[in-house]
Amino acid sequence: MLTANETIATILAVSLGTMITRFTPFLLFPESKEPPKVVSYLGSVLPPAMMGLLVVYCLKGVSLTSAPYGLPELISIAALVLLHKWRHNVLLSIGGATALYMVLVQAVF
């Protein structure tokens, strides 16, 4: 159990750390100044790379040799792609595919 002073110190430390990480990019790269090319490059390539990494991580435990042979995952990925092509809404795509996957693994397979 933390004392009141330890709790306050923890909250202040976390708040300060959050503020530093949120405000530093605006101080280093003001709107009036063009960011370095490496920063622009990383800003364009890291989001798709992270999405690919998450897909690989999520599918690493899927067994294609035993039932249900990855069918819930395959159906959910297809639904995700179709939802995103249809509505271009990331929240709907991810939420809909996740809900479908949960229904498939809990009630169908």
Cα separation of 66 and 84, whole Å? 30
Q: How confident is the model at residue 87 (pLDDT cuts 50, 70, 90)?
A: very high
Closest by CA to 77, choosing from 63, 56, 98, is: 98
Residue ranges of the domains in the chain? 1-33, 37-62, 64-109
DSSP conformational letter for 60: T
pLDDT score at 20: 97
pLDDT score at 32: 92
pLDDT digits 0-9 by tens, 16-58 = 999 999 999 999 999 999 999 999 999 999 999 999 999 999 9
Residue 48 structure tokens: 């798709």
Read off the pTM. 0.65
